[in-house]
Amino acid sequence: MPGPVRGSNAAHMAGPLQNSGWDRYFMSMHLDLHIHTTAYSRCSKLTPDAMAIAAKRAGLDGVCVTEHNRIWKEREARALEDKHGIAIFRGMEVTTTGGDIIVFGLEEEPRQMWIPAMPNVKADAGWPHISEQPLYPLTPMLLKAKVDAVRGVAIAAHPFRRFRVFGVGELPVSLAEATSRTTLAHVHGIEVHNSMDTSQENDLALKVADAMGLLKCGGSDAHTDTAVGACVTRFDEWIHDERELVEAILGGRFIISSMSQ
């Protein structure tokens, strides 16, 4: 990434003062928006305690824990927050048919979102026990509907990494091909800097975000302590909870940069 990137192309405008305390408008806050721990992500080698210690060492004010298809309980986040004196925000990286999508503001886990495959049942007819029915896959469209219903935010995670990981081939050769991905029509933003992606993948994501008017987000995608803070998001205000986090992201009131910048 050539330099710090503002989350939105729109000029920053502070929200109404009654939304929170005065500190929200006179302090900036530095967060890592994409981290996995051993608490709920089997692929991670990073314990929650190690994450908090690494975040403080990196100079962060807080972290967003985005486990795969699981969300931390509120009491778990507050306990770690109290223990280490660093803000802990809760989100998820949800696996969909169109790739991974990071969500904030949604408490419902994917296993609760699957729709029973009953074509003749009306939406208001009541759902039978989930284990008794075959299930439709979780699509980006369905996830976006769930997120919008609770006024959350959905961000496409490492949207072009799958071309490398799954051996699909080279990255799309044109911007038109990249922007035609159906998933991108069902998110509010896109990761334009993920520390686990190549510069080519991140650059393409940035071009896509500009072309589609999507929020430009980023995160370390840390699975080890050395990666925590590799991508930092600086918010233009102090954030107290997930609701304020969602509002700040949707409002584009942030700038992302790599640790080295």
The pLDDT of residue 120 is 44
Cα separation values, 28 from 25, 31, 88, 234, 238, Å? 8, 10, 16, 7, 6
Which domains does the chain carry? 26-120+131-258 (3.20.20.140)
Does residue 70 come out as left (phi exceeding 0), alpha (psi in the -120 to 50 range) or beta? Answer: beta
**Per-residue confidence band for 212, with pLDDT thresholds at 50, 70 and 90:** very high
Pairing of strands 5-6, 87-96: unpaired
Query: Considering only CA atoms, which of 257, 259, 178 is closest in space to residue 1?
Result: 257
pLDDT band per the 50, 70, 90 thresholds, residue 12:
very low
What's the mean pLDDT when you consider all of the chain? 84
pLDDT of res. 39: 98
pLDDT, residue 164, reads: 47
Chain-centre distance of CA 225, in angstroms?
19
| Sheet of strand 189-194: strand arrangement | 5-6, 254-258, 231-235, 29-35, 62-68, 87-96, 99-104, 153-156, 189-194, 215-219
Query: What is the SS3 assignment for 185?
Result: helix
Q: At 151, which amino acid appears?
A: R
In this prediction, residues 138-147 reach a mean pLDDT of 94
Rounded to 5°, angle at Cα 105 from 243 and 41? 130
Q: pLDDT tens digits for 161-190? A: 865 444 445 665 689 989 999 999 999 999
Helix (H) or strand (E) holding 205: helix 199-212
